[in-house]
Amino acid sequence: MGNLNAENITNLKNIIDIISSIVTSTAVIVGGIVAWWKWGREKPQAPRCILTHKIFLAPLDREKFVIHVTLDINNKGNGPLNLKSGWTEVRKVSPVDKDVEEVLSKKNPFAEDKTEIDWPAFETRQYDGKILKLWVDSGESGYLYSDFVLSRVHKVIVIRSEISMEEDDPETKWPITTFVHTSDLLKEDSQRNVQEN
């Protein structure tokens, strides 16, 4: 009878060890899945940001207006971003002149991305990371500024910016395109002035 109890105790101990091993293995697997779901699938080390344009436009004189473009770089990644290079340019859309007509009459008027028309650029501002030393911490925004003086004949223009960061793969470019109807911005500015007075 004493042997039977010792045998039962040994068997019970073995069963408890097996169950304990299964519970431990399951906890490790579930913990790994939760960690991947929370952090791993997001690739937190990858640089990420959201670009937006803020555009100020006002008459300069009877024939020209000034455009001030603020490129807002909002760092959504977990590491800092360091500007390598980039540019902002103004492209013309309307009225249709010979440059615009030339683009539209091409068999393939699209830019490299194959989705946007390659509107002709007529003024560009270059960003040099070594000179500007733009550094944007995680969760914060950095800004790049460009000024342009344009003829008031332009009714619709495109503001296009593109930047690359030191942390990115050498081929990675971050673009943004904003269409501007100049009379709408001028109207908003005049309405704001009336409300303020």
Among the candidates 11, 27, 42, a domain finishes at 42
Output the pLDDT for position 155.
Answer: 93
Same domain membership, residue 38 and residue 105 = no
Same domain membership, residue 98 and residue 70 = yes
pLDDT digits (tens, 9 = 90+) for 117-156: 999 999 999 999 999 999 999 899 999 999 999 999 999 9
Lowest mean pLDDT among 48-57, 85-94, 167-176: 167-176
Same domain membership, residue 104 and residue 30 = no
Output the pLDDT for position 4.
Answer: 59
Q: What is the rounded distance in angstroms from the CA atom of residue 139 to the CA atom of residue 141? A: 7
Same domain membership, residue 93 and residue 15 = no
Better-predicted residue by pLDDT, 45 or 161 = 161
Question: What is the total count of domains within the chain?
Answer: 2
Q: What is the CATH number of the domain that holds 123?
A: 2.60.40.10
Same domain membership, residue 184 and residue 122 = yes
194 pLDDT band, cuts 50/70/90, is very low
Same domain membership, residue 35 and residue 71 = no
Identify the domain containing residue 25 by its residue range. 2-42
Output the pLDDT for position 39.
Answer: 61
Q: In this model, does residue 111 exceed pLDDT 60? A: yes
196 pLDDT band, cuts 50/70/90, is low
Output the pLDDT for position 56.
Answer: 94
Identity of the highest mean pLDDT range in 9-13, 31-35, 69-73, 152-156: 69-73
Output the pLDDT for position 193.
Answer: 53
50 pLDDT band, cuts 50/70/90, is very high
pTM of the complete model: 0.70
Contact 57, 30 (CB under 8 A): no
Question: Of the candidates 162, 155, 158, which has an alpha carbon nearest to the alpha carbon of residue 184?
Answer: 155
Same domain membership, residue 28 and residue 71 = no
Same domain membership, residue 102 and residue 75 = yes
Same domain membership, residue 106 and residue 81 = yes
Output the pLDDT for position 45.
Answer: 63
Same domain membership, residue 15 and residue 54 = no
Q: What is the rounded distance in angstroms from the CA atom of residue 178 to the CA atom of residue 26? A: 51
Give, for 148, the enclosing helix (H) or strand (E): strand 141-151
Average pLDDT, the chain: 85
Give, for 11, the enclosing helix (H) or strand (E): helix 2-38
Same domain membership, residue 113 and residue 98 = yes
Same domain membership, residue 159 and residue 130 = yes
Q: In this model, does residue 175 exceed pLDDT 60? A: yes
